[in-house]
Amino acid sequence: MSLENTISEAIKTAMRAKDRVALDSLRAVKSQILLLKTEAIGVEVTAEQEIAILQRMVKQRKDSYDQFTAQGRNDLAEVEEAQMKIIEQFLPKQLSAEELEAEMKNIIAETGAESVKDLGKVMGVASKTLAGKSDGKSISEMAKKLLS
């Protein structure tokens, strides 16, 4: 089942449960998917693009949460956090720090990288291999740590 169909089913469930936060979050996700489909007329939307949309939305909510918390607006921060958790349910399981380190060591060995100068080569392979499993910031930090 595609992400769009899964989201549609989740919207129906949220409507029945009268869960306003989930409904708003899921409608936002569906809106972004439909927007991508209209931009790419005649081209099928890939799973990687759908995952990228979800990751971007989670990052936006996380940034908003941090800003609201810093400003003392806990009421708004709670809404952002709840939406973030709902959207994260549709992302693939995220790698733990240990799993990410093991994956990065394999990628470094594959690419033959030896120093921070080879970071671009490692990041190119890692971002494709670990797409959806970890965010870019974590991948970059781990690569820098292992290459230095």
Domain count for the chain? 2
Shared domain for 60 and 81, answered yes or no, is: yes
Shared domain for 72 and 108, answered yes or no, is: no
Q: Supply the CATH number for residue 72's domain.
A: 1.10.1510.10
Residues 112-136: pLDDT tens digits?
878 788 888 888 888 888 877 887 8
Shared domain for 69 and 141, answered yes or no, is: no
Q: How confident is the model at residue 1, as a pLDDT?
A: 59
Shared domain for 71 and 141, answered yes or no, is: no
Residues 2-57: pLDDT tens digits?
888 899 999 999 999 999 999 999 999 999 988 888 887 767 778 888 888 898 99
Shared domain for 82 and 124, answered yes or no, is: no
Shared domain for 80 and 29, answered yes or no, is: yes
pTM, 2 dp: 0.75
Domain boundary among 89, 107, 124: 89
Shared domain for 68 and 120, answered yes or no, is: no
Cα(89)–Cα(10) distance, integer angstroms: 11
Q: How confident is the model at residue 141, as a pLDDT?
A: 87
Cα(102)–Cα(40) distance, integer angstroms: 36
Separation in Å, CA 135 to CA 5, 11, 38, 47: 25, 26, 26, 16
Name the nearest CA neighbour of 140 among 117, 131, 94, 127: 127
For residues 41 and 84, the model is more confident at 84
Please state the φ and ψ torsions of residue 135, each to the nearest 5 degrees. Answer: -80, 160
Domain boundary among 89, 109, 137: 89
Shared domain for 29 and 79, answered yes or no, is: yes
Shared domain for 79 and 103, answered yes or no, is: no
Q: Supply the CATH number for residue 142's domain.
A: 1.10.10.410
Shared domain for 85 and 121, answered yes or no, is: no
3-state secondary structure the chain: CCHHHHHHHHHHHHHHHCCHHHHHHHHHHHHHHHHHHHHCCCCCCCHHHHHHHHHHHHHHHHHHHHHHHHCCCHHHHHHHHHHHHHHHCCCCCCCCHHHHHHHHHHHHHHHCCCCHHHHHHHHHHHHHHCCCCCCHHHHHHHHHHHHC
Shared domain for 18 and 63, answered yes or no, is: yes
Q: Where in the sequence is the domain holding 44, given as residue range(s)?
A: 3-89
Shared domain for 43 and 71, answered yes or no, is: yes
